[in-house]
Amino acid sequence: MPTIVDNPPRVAVVENSLSATSGDKIQYAFTIPSSGNSSPSIIWAFSDANPGSSAKDAKIHIHIDKGTTKMNFVKAADANTTGGGGSHRLGTTSTNTTSSGSNDSSTLFPSSCGILAFSTLVCGLLVLI
């Protein structure tokens, strides 16, 4: 079980104006203050089961998928680049390694470097390294 940090130096906040919580594609966008690191690493995971509580000691159900990603907020996007997967924003490219070991390219909107995750399922956990 991960250790909970009582007063983390930065906290991810759901960006409601960029999130969609109805329809066939549920998407959550998060913002977080910059750490000054232009290539941060993140750990991500999601599940289709709600833990049933927002308590910090709530039992987390098994994740559908999980992985690690190293973002690259320095590389400029090519003018002809399009967003991958339909739910990612045009912009900076990151490499995504999933629990199955496959690699995938994701693109992020460079002017909103705090946006870290989009998901077509309910996002269960987002932890910054």
Cα 88 from Cα 44, distance rounded (Å): 15
104 within domain boundaries: yes
Buried b (16+ CB within 10 A) or exposed e, 20-54: eeeeeebbbbbebeeeeeeebebebbbbeeeeeee
118 within domain boundaries: yes
For the full predicted model, state whether its pTM sits above 0.95.
Answer: no
18 within domain boundaries: yes
116 within domain boundaries: yes
75 within domain boundaries: yes
pLDDT digit string (tens) for the chain, length 129 residues: 667 788 988 888 889 988 888 888 888 888 888 888 888 888 888 888 888 888 878 887 788 888 898 888 776 655 555 444 333 343 334 444 444 444 443 444 433 333 333 333 333 444 443
2 within domain boundaries: no
Domain range for 112 is: 13-50+63-128
5 within domain boundaries: no
57 within domain boundaries: no
Domain count, the chain: 1
